[in-house]
A and B are shown apart, each in its own frame.
Chain A
Amino acid sequence: TQLLEQSPQFLSIQEGENLTVYCNSSSVFSSLQWYRQEPGEGPVLLVTVVTGGEVKKLKRLTFQFGDARKDSSLHITAAQPGDTGLYLCAAYNNNDMRFGAGTRLTVKP
């Protein structure tokens, strides 16, 4: 059983559509991070959320941390082919960081 459960596992949409991916856990976290990984490369940090209920925006990406700090969502508005990639959520479990299995997003032109 993974500490962080991400859904959906795969998502294929057309350019211009909106989408939301989720990261859920039964544990409470002091902070949660979202990374994006492109093929053949390591993950790159998109955002860190710290406060329960916090909403952060990064251009067309909106990140929300649940009030209870157990879950988070990533919403993309008007998706573009450049958004294609693996989206990973991650959180510290004591001194080590744990990752979810990721959502693989494909945006078709």
Chain B
Amino acid sequence: NAGVTQTPKFQVLKTGQSMTLQCAQDMNHEYMSWYRQDPGMGLRLIHYSVGAGITDQGEVPNGYNVSRSTTEDFPLRLLSAAPSQTSVYFCASSAWLYNEQFFGPGTRLTVL
């Protein structure tokens, strides 16, 4: 099993550009989530999903969209990148709520 995979590993965007961060898991987990990690802030939840077709907002959802068309995939879309979105992004999955979360290796995004 590959676990949780994320692509790309690094990305540089210009302000106003759009892009999609990919996340996939092969553990048949129902719960998937996206976090951003900034220095001194820990991990902050952007969006999460409790199953295919169901998504909800987390703590910092503005500027990001998600969809969950399959159990395996949970892409994160930046519609119009801003310098404030410079961060490291982590995708995670777990079998269900309150279970262990498995994290991907992260995507380091820089917005100029």
Name A's B-contacting residues (CB within 8 A): 2, 6, 9, 30-31, 33, 40-45, 48, 88, 90, 92, 95-102
Contacts and interface: CB of A to CB of B under 8 A. Distances in A.
Given A42-B103, A45-B101, A101 B58 contact: no
A96 B92 contact: no
B112 to A, nearest CB: 22
Given A42-B106, A48-B100, A101-B41, 5 more contacts: A33-B101, A43-B43, A45-B101, A92-B98, A101-B40
Task: Bin chain B's interface residue count.
Answer: 20 to 34
Nearest to B46: A96
A96 B59 contact: yes
Given A42-B103, A97-B101, A102 B45 contact: no
B59 to A, nearest CB: 7
Nearest to B104: A42
B42 A101 contact: yes
B75 interface: no
20 contacts: A9-B40, A33-B100, A33-B101, A41-B103, A42-B90, A42-B92, A44-B103, A45-B100, A92-B97, A92-B98, A95-B48, A95-B97, A96-B48, A96-B56, A97-B45, A97-B101, A99-B43, A100-B42, A101-B42, A102-B42
A40 B106 CA distance: 8
Contacts of B104: 42
Contact of B59 (A33, A45, A98): A98
Contacts of A88: 42-43
A43 B90 CA distance: 9
B109 to A, nearest CB: 15
Nearest to B100: A45
